[in-house]
Every structure is written in structure tokens, then in C-alpha cells.
Structure 1
Amino acid sequence: MVTQLISTFTWRSLFALQVPIGLFVLYCLQTNDGSEEIRKPIKIDRVGSVLTIIGLTTLILPIVKSGDWGFTSSKPLTLFSIALVLLTILIKRSLTLDNSPLQTQLFIHRNFSLACAMSLFAGIAFYAHWLAILLFMVEIWEFTLIEAGLLLTIMPASMSLFSVWFGKLADSRGYRPIVIPGLITYSLLFLIMWVNIDQDPQLLITIPALIGSGIGMASVWPTLTSIGANAIGDNSISSGTSIIHTIQRIGGALGIAIVLAVISGLSGSDTFFAHRSAILVMPIAGAMTLLLSCFLDAPQRDFR
């Protein structure tokens, strides 16, 4: 659907699509609950929210614009410095505030901290593969957006096939027996794709990598929320899962930024080499997620 919109209209239609979706979600959130229970008002840390938004923006923007700015010119160095200062202030504030966006008190739980770190690298990998593979198919193999989009549906299709089954196995056998094989499959198949891919379409290499991507997403993406939720108290589950999902989206933004930075930075010499190099982001980020998963405790052994 997305590729059809872009192909028929422009990229702007993709942003316009968010409006009816958002309105539908807003409608679904409406409730007729007439409960008169008095609830304690929630105080939002507005300063922390502003620090988070500006800090992450100044961190990600120079990565995206590295092809034009480089990394050593004054503009990216200034933005990186601003990001470092703002995010440092955010962390220091979070250590003393209960309503901080970071909720640092939750990070005393080992599995929760690991789930957050894994979410960052998994977000980088899982968001990067959508953009990197799409651009490779369109720019190098000269697929149409519709052809590339249809081929990419293999990833969510295989994810939907395995995710429920993997979830049941994780409940009965723990996290590592599910997460580790899934990440090995994901990283290895994308590494094989990176090694063997050529300028001519090679679906016998690409399709297994896309299936492996779905297996990796099915074994890791839903499980990360469970890992974090089981590591913390019941009264903090909403905050904890929100942090994990936020970090996943931050990782996603970084993954997209890194892919764009690699392609724009290397395109001057060889377009094929630049797009092929972007594929390497997935096995590297997958391997980092795999390394972190090796330190997970079983749910009943989550020590502080």
C-alpha cells in the first residue's frame, strides 16, 4: 500500500497517510467508562522532554547530513557537542526526578537494562534493513517501488508466521533459547547476502535473508517487551515498556540515519559499493544485539 501511494503520488502521500490512521487510533482510545475514581494527576517533566527531543535531534541530524557536512566540519561537531551536553543534563536530572522520561530507577534491574540496550541495536538493525534493502533494489537492481515493496513483504509475513510460536516457547523455555538462534539466523543470512550480492538481481540470496529478517524480528522484537516487563515490578510495567519502545524508535532513527550516511558518504566513488556497504549495518547491529542477549537471566532469576 505504501509503495503504491509513493509510486502513484509522491513521498508526501506517505505522511498524509498518518492523518487518518492517527484519527482512527484516537477514536479507538475513546471510552465510555463512567468511573468516578479520583486519580492522582500525572506531572510531566516538560524540561526533560524538551532535552530529550532536542538532544536526540542534534545527535541524529549530523549523521543524516554527513554526506554533505562530513563529520569533522564545524557544523556537525557543534551539533554533536550540543547533543552531548543536553543528554548529559537529561541523565543527571533523571537521577533525582521520579517523573523523568528516562526513569533511571528501573535500570537497576539487569534484564531491563539489557532489554533497553538490545532494543537500541535491534532498532538500528530492523529499521535499517527496510531502507537499505529497498534502496538497493530500486537504485542498483532498478526494481520499481511496487516490486521492491512486494518483495519486502516477505519480512513481516515470516515474522507473523513465527512470532506467536516463538512467544510461547519463550514463556516455557526462557528468553535465550529463542532470542539467540533468531539473532544468529538474522545476522548470518544478512552477512551472506552482503558477501555475495551483486549488481544483478540475486533472489536466491535475497529471499533467505528476508526470511531470516522475519525470523529475527519474530524472536526479538516482541520478546524485548516481555524481558523488560518481567524484570520490574507490576507498578512500573507501563513506564518500563514505554521506555523500551521509545529506545526501539530511537534505534530505528539511528539505523535510518546510519544507512543514509553510509550511502551518501560512499556514493561519490561507487554507487554499488555504497549501497552494498549499507547492508553491512544489519549483521553488525544484529551481532551487537546477540552479544547482549548472552547475558540475559532467566525471568525467575532477575537479580538486582
Structure 2
Amino acid sequence: MRSQPLRAIPTSAWRTLAIAATAVFLVSLDGTVLFVAFPSIRRTFPGVSPEELSWILNAYTIGFGALLVPAGRLADRFGRRAFFTAGLGVFTAASVLCGVAPGVGTLVAARALQSVGAALLMPASLALVLRAFPEERRGVAVGIWGAVGALAAAIGPVLGSAVVQFASWRWAFLLNLPLGAYTLAVSARRLEESRANEAGSLPDVLGAAVLIAAFSSLAYGIIGWRADPGRATSALAAGSVLLALFVWRSLRVETPALDLRLFARRSFAIANAMTLLFSIAFSAMFFGNVFFLTERWQLSIFEAGLWISPGPLTVIPVAIASGRLADRAGYRPLFVAGGLVFSLGGIWLLLRADATASFLVWLPGSLLMGISIGMVLPSLSGAAVSQLDPASLGAGSGVNQAVRQLGSVLGVAIVVLVLGGLAKSARFEHVFALLVVSGLLTAIGGLLLPPRSRAPHAA
């Protein structure tokens, strides 16, 4: 029996992909740029503690992680183009507010608003792309859509450090305005509206609010432990209670913000535990490395961005090769090998933490980390949903993305706690030791997965 020829991809589909990918590029670039911009922001507000400044990162990550799934469901119900354009408009406007923020409080609030825009935009962008492409050609579209995010993460350190070094950290936000405004104008004219055939029930917005409060309390407790252990203990206790309340509510409502029932599947639970652990390590690595290079080794922001860039640039080719390997051999070999390589990178940095600043000393650890991240991070989402039925793929992916964002919040919080005042004498060795342990635990988690877990195929 002869296979059906592939349908041609219409021009309108490529146009939709270009618009969606541009918006995804903006959102993805914003995260990595902020890591390298953080030291400069700190110098602008010298009277504000690192604990308070860390909320510039955490306010965004918490809001984005908690709102991602409800926003996707609302976009399916009320219109994906409407949510995409609304999200892009909110994100662009909030970027301007970040760029002109007179104080840290205003900047944190604007970052929280940015997270709302990003959460509205991201799931709607992928849904628009999938709707525009023929079913048998969607793999190409999803690959390009995902690669754009990886490209933004790769060039973010260099671009961000250059903007901060030769202009100001404020321009890292303000540069979103021209591209965001242009994409918004094109979106309104060129994108076609689409909705899900079956709208379903409204998502649990109250549950998402409880989750935001839980994440915020837990992060506050970790960050504030050194300054005020009593208040930090209260925050951790409150966060734990709120998290328990979220779990209780999610198991009882019809359409929870995150479908926690999926954790009954062993492979899903293990993969998400690995996602949490590796996301903590990834954020701690990125955030800690920026401060190690600028504080202990006294590099400029631009030099630090250049030194960091080989690792992220390694991620893309390794991720492509790892995806092909996962199709043949499953995810277990990637996680075991990737976790061990991550530990080796941590050991290299740990043993050379007191060395004199040298790019050749730094490069091997950076490359090892990049290789490991390329093997592990893109595969975690696939491993999480590999044993789920097709109807649960969207919900499972949403849970995994939320877990990843929680890990990012905790990684930043742990670095701030461990490094204290982020001075030249800060104990960066503790951060590098965390990377070693995280890599080993990731490898152990890989061994616990089913040996032939592979990428899922929709029905």
C-alpha cells in the first residue's frame, strides 16, 4: 500500500509560524538576558539587598509557571489569536514599564505583569502554529518553534551582556518595544482566529492563585532565611500549607490548574522529580556563574557574557543529536550519561574555584555543562509524558512546565541564600557542590525510569 504524499505547507502557515516564533523569541530571550543583567541592576539600587532584588527574577517565573496551563485552556475556549495578541501586548507594555521603573518595587510589579503576558502568549502561539500546519507536517513546525526558544537562550548571555555593558540594563527591556509592537501589528492583520472544537470547563483560576501564593511563600522563606530565620520559618510553613491546599483542591475540581492525578503514574512522577531537581541546578548554575565571573574573577558584564556563551551554544547541536538517540534507545541513557557529565562539569568548577581568572580554565567546565544540558533538559518534557495516553499529553506537559518554573525559582533562592551578600568572598564552592550532587541524583533518577521510555505519539 502506497503512502499518501505529504501535503504542501501553505504560505499562511509559514507566516503564522514566523509571527509566533518572533514572539517566543522575545519571551525566551528575556529570561537569559536578565541573569546577566542582574549585577548591573544591583549596582543601580545599591541600598536594596540581593534577597529583595531576586524577586525581579522570581516574580516573573512564579507567575509564568502557575498561569501557563489555565491560560492555554482559556485560549482554546475563547480564541487563540485573541489571547496571543493580548499576551504580546501585555508583555510589550510591561517591558516598557520595566525599562522605566524608578524603583525595585515597580520593577518587580512590572515583571509580574510581564509573566501574565508571557503565560497568555506561549501556549496560544503553539496552538496557532499547530492549527495552521497540515497534521503530517507539524513536526517541522514544532521543531522550528522550539529551536527559536533554544536560539534565544543561546545568544541571550552575549546580547544581554553587550546591551548592559555599552548601554544600560534598562535597554534589555526597552528593546522589546519595537519588535513587540511590530509583531503585534502584524498579528492583528495576518493571524486567523481558532478555538477548540470542544470548549470544556473553565480552568481553576483560584487554584492557580493558591499555587502562586504557595510558590511565593516558599521562595520568600528560602531567600530570607539568613536575614530573619523566624520570619522565614513562618513563610515556609505558610507555603507548605498553601501547597497542601492546592493539592487538595486540584484533586477535587473538574478542571484543575494542574492535573496532579497524573502523578499516579510512576514514570511521570520520576520524570517530574528529575525536572524539579535539574531545573534547580540549571538556574543555580546560570545565576551562580554570572556572579562568580563578575564578583570573584572580576570580569566585566560583557566579558562574563562571552565566557558563558560556549555552554549555551553547545546545547543546540547536542539536543538535536539527543532527540534522535531518544527515538532509538529511549530517555534512560540520556539522563544517566547527561547527569554524570553535569557532575563532571561541577567537579571541574569546584576544583578551580580558587584559580586565577582564565578562559581556558573556565571553558572545559562550561562545555561539559552545555553538553549535559543538551542531553537532559529538552528530554525531560518528553520523558514526563512518554507513558501518558494521547488525551493527557497537554495536561502532562503543563504540569512539567510548571515544575520546571518552580525549580527555577528555588534555584535562584538557593543561590541567594548560599552566597549571602554576593561578595567576592562568597562561598561559590557550595553552589558548585550543589551542581555535582544534582548531576548524580539526575543519573540515579534516569536509572529508575522504564528502560525504553520514548517520545509519545499522538493518536
Q: TM (normalized to structure 1)?
A: 0.88
Which residue matches 2:220? 61
> Equivalents in 1 of 2:373, 2:187: separation in Å?
27
> Equivalents in 2 of 1:263, 1:68: separation in Å?
12
Q: In the alignment, is residue 194 of structure 1 matched against residue 194 of structure 2?
A: no
Which residue matches 1:122? 278
Q: 1:78 to 1:108 in 2, by over 3 A?
A: same
Cα drift, residue 125 of structure 1? 0.9
Given residue 46 of structure 1, which amino acid in structure 2 is its aligned partner? V
Instruction: For CA contacts below 8 A with separation 6 or more, give which structure has more relative contact order.
Output: 1
Which residue matches 1:263? 419
What is the CA deviation profile of residues 78-103 of structure 1, one whole-angstrom value per residue up to 9, with x for unaligned ones?
A: 11111011111111111222321231
Given residue 4 of structure 1, which amino acid in structure 2 is its aligned partner? A
Instruction: Tell me if structure 1 keeps the 8 A contact 2:343–2:436.
Output: yes
Aligned 1:231-242 pairs, distance under 5 A: 231-242=387-398
> Equivalents in 2 of 1:98, 1:248: separation in Å?
24
Cα drift, residue 46 of structure 1? 1.7
Which residue matches 1:230? 386
Instruction: Tell me if structure 1 keeps the 8 A contact 2:258–2:398.
Output: no
Give the total of aligned pairs: 295
Q: In the alignment, is residue 39 of structure 1 matched against residue 195 of structure 2?
A: no
Say which is worse superposed, 28-37 or 51-60, in terms of deviation: 28-37
Cα drift, residue 12 of structure 1? 3.9
Which residue matches 1:284? 437
Q: Secondary structure at the match of 2:299?
A: coil
Which residue matches 1:245? 401
Of 314, 321, 327, the residue aligned with 1:171 is 327
Structure 2 unmatched runs, 5+: 1-158
> Equivalents in 2 of 1:105, 1:24: separation in Å?
42
Q: Secondary structure at the match of 1:251?
A: helix
Which residue matches 1:109? 265
Instruction: Tell me if structure 1 keeps the 8 A contact 2:387–2:453.
Output: yes
Cα drift, residue 199 of structure 1? 4.7
Given residue 412 of structure 2, which amino acid in structure 1 is its aligned partner? I
Q: 1:247 to 1:161 in 2, by over 3 A?
A: same
Given residue 251 of structure 1, which amino acid in structure 2 is its aligned partner? G
Given residue 3 of structure 1, which amino acid in structure 2 is its aligned partner? S
Q: Secondary structure at the match of 2:420?
A: helix
> Equivalents in 1 of 2:391, 2:292: separation in Å?
45
Q: 1:223 to 1:36 in 2, by over 3 A?
A: closer
> Equivalents in 2 of 1:238, 1:186: separation in Å?
29
> Equivalents in 2 of 1:61, 1:37: separation in Å?
38
Root-mean-square deviation over aligned CA pairs: 2.5
Cα drift, residue 282 of structure 1? 1.5
Given residue 232 of structure 1, which amino acid in structure 2 is its aligned partner? L
Of 143, 147, 156, the residue aligned with 2:303 is 147
> Equivalents in 2 of 1:212, 1:29: separation in Å?
40
> Equivalents in 1 of 2:273, 2:444: separation in Å?
11
Instruction: Tell me if structure 2 keeps the 8 A contact 1:199–1:272.
Output: no
Instruction: Tell me if structure 1 keeps the 8 A contact 2:353–2:428.
Output: no
Instruction: Tell me if structure 2 keeps the 8 A contact 1:129–1:282.
Output: yes
> Equivalents in 1 of 2:196, 2:257: separation in Å?
26
What is the CA deviation profile of residues 169-216 of structure 1, one whole-angstrom value per residue up to 9, with x for unaligned ones?
A: 011011111221111011122123202321511434421111111111
> Equivalents in 2 of 1:160, 1:14: separation in Å?
23
Structure 1 unmatched runs, 5+: none
Instruction: Tell me if structure 2 keeps the 8 A contact 1:66–1:265.
Output: no
Percent sequence identity is: 25
Which residue matches 2:449? 296
Q: 1:239 to 1:37 in 2, by over 3 A?
A: closer
Given residue 290 of structure 1, which amino acid in structure 2 is its aligned partner? A
What is the CA deviation profile of residues 207-239 of structure 1, one whole-angstrom value per residue up to 9, with x for unaligned ones?
A: 111111111111111111111222211111111
